[in-house]
Amino acid sequence: MRHTNTTFSSLPRPPSIDKSGFMARVNEARKQLSVQNTDALILVAGINMRYFCGLAWPLTERFVGAVITAQDVMFICPRFEQSAIKAALNTDGEFLFWQEDENPSEVVARFLHHKNLRSVAVDPKCPLWLFEQLQSALPAMSLRSAVSLIGNLRARKNKQELDLIQYAMSLTLTVHERAYAYLQAGRRASEVIRFIDEQHRQLGADNGSYFCTVQFGEGTSHPHGVPGDPVLHDDTLVLIDTGCQVDGYHSDITRTYGFGQVSDRISDMWEIEKAAQAAAFAAAKPGVPCAHIDQAARDLLKQKGLGPDYELPGLPHRTGHGIGLEIHEGPYLVRGDNTPLQPGMCFSNEPMIVVPGEFGVRLEDHFYVTHDKAQWFTPLQKSLYSPF
């Protein structure tokens, strides 16, 4: 069992992914290139460079990236940034430098031509302007998206990744507990958001809260909140959705509970939400298509007179999303995504119920897939009035 939140203070922080871990990912990419009869993979600065090379570098107008082939890892870098990029990298490789008055896509093209490579998979995060530059510099080559190659690798987390996500989830659940104790009538949502950020920082998250939404009363009926800074009053429904990063890996947990007494209708809807979350979890097993988990939640809601489909009162969005280096990443628990669940995949489970103009209830927890079942990362909310 992974959920050990009651002992978070004694949970050791997992080690970061090291150079050998990143090189193992590069080698997996090479295997996929071979399977897909593709000569090279071009990465651009951003999330996929971080996944394969350990380089947390923002995507800007200056092309920073990498070319992975069967024999080489070549980093593309503005010459004046070489010291900073070399210091940040966690993968072995060589460099292709370019000056400010050069077209870096042509530098890449010369390398590929020199190696006599013909088919290239391009990072799906590559912006259109850069893809067009590459296409112009490589008119005789076959360029395609690397979405399946990269997505298949990133979707299945190994033990190191699961440990980092586990730590981040346990950390955020502890912050939720502290926020619950911090609430009092008269506090503004902005005060709670600030407190949650401070607690994430205190417990060791990368940069405090990655995001935070605090909603009261009717505001809970808006899935991602609305502008404003409401004040908490007694006998009000509270919804808090927040998360952080630990070495780039995300947490994302939502709790909905009564601050004082709320209506019986809210209480009834909370129990239905709990049942819908349980139905989705029960459907999650290796080999089951993602869409089936979404349908399991919707079937339960329909039995209770909600929906159907995306109609309200009911569930206005997908049941869940993948999570890892991105807070929302594929595959998704939604109709039409027939990706079969595989060991190592991680998902949110959040079949929110919205009653427009009145209230909303969302319980969001995450599970990962093992060889024979699904397993929660953290304990679930116990009840409307005893959330921890």
Render pLDDT for 40-65 as a digit per residue (tens, 0 to 9).
999 999 999 999 999 999 999 999 99
Q: Can you read off the two tokens belonging to residue 18?
A: 């090291």
CA distance 143 to 377: 39
Mean pLDDT on 179-184: 98
Q: What is the signed CA dihedral for 99, 44, 168, 25, rounded to 10 degrees?
A: -110
Among 334, 336, 371, 337, residue whose Cα is nearest residue 349: 334
User: Based on the number of CB atoms within 10 Å of its own CB, is 357 exposed (0-12), middle (13-18) or buried (19 or more)?
Assistant: exposed
Give the pLDDT of residue 7: 57
Check pLDDT > 80 for residue 3.
no
In tens, the pLDDT along 102-137 reads 999 999 999 999 999 999 999 999 999 999 999 999
Among 38, 103, 112, 24, residue whose Cα is nearest residue 74: 112
Where is pLDDT greater, at 120 or 91? 120
Check pLDDT > 90 for residue 142.
no
| Angle (nearest 5°) at CA 82 between 78 and 87 | 140
Among 138, 152, 19, 17, residue whose Cα is nearest residue 67: 138
Spatial neighbors of 261 by CB under 8 A, at least 6 apart, are 235
Mean pLDDT on 198-218: 97
Check pLDDT > 50 for residue 322.
yes
- Confidence tier at 158 by pLDDT (50, 70, 90): very high
Amino acid at 187: R
In tens, the pLDDT along 8-28 reads 776 899 999 999 999 999 999
Q: Where do the domains of the chain lie, and which CATH numbers do they carry?
A: 19-154 (3.40.350.10), 156-376 (3.90.230.10)
CA distance 264 to 270: 10
Q: Can you read off the two tokens belonging to residue 103?
A: 């077209």
User: How far are the Cα atoms of 10, 153, 187 from residue 371, in angstroms, in the given order?
Assistant: 28, 17, 46
Share of the chain above pLDDT 90, in %: 94
CA distance 194 to 192: 5
Check pLDDT > 50 for residue 5.
no
Check pLDDT > 70 for residue 2.
no
Mean pLDDT on 176-190: 98
Give the pLDDT of residue 1: 33
CA distance 217 to 236: 5
DSSP-derived 3-state class of residue 374: strand
Mean pLDDT on 266-294: 98
Check pLDDT > 60 for residue 6.
no
E strands, the chain, are: 40-44, 65-69, 73-78, 94-98, 119-122, 142-145, 211-216, 236-243, 245-246, 249-250, 253-259, 320-322, 329-333, 346-349, 353-355, 359-361, 365-369, 374-376
CA distance 49 to 154: 12
What pTM was estimated for this model as a whole?
Answer: 0.95
The residue assigned the tokens 């090291």 is: 18
The residue assigned the tokens 């890996």 is: 249
Give the pLDDT of residue 11: 83
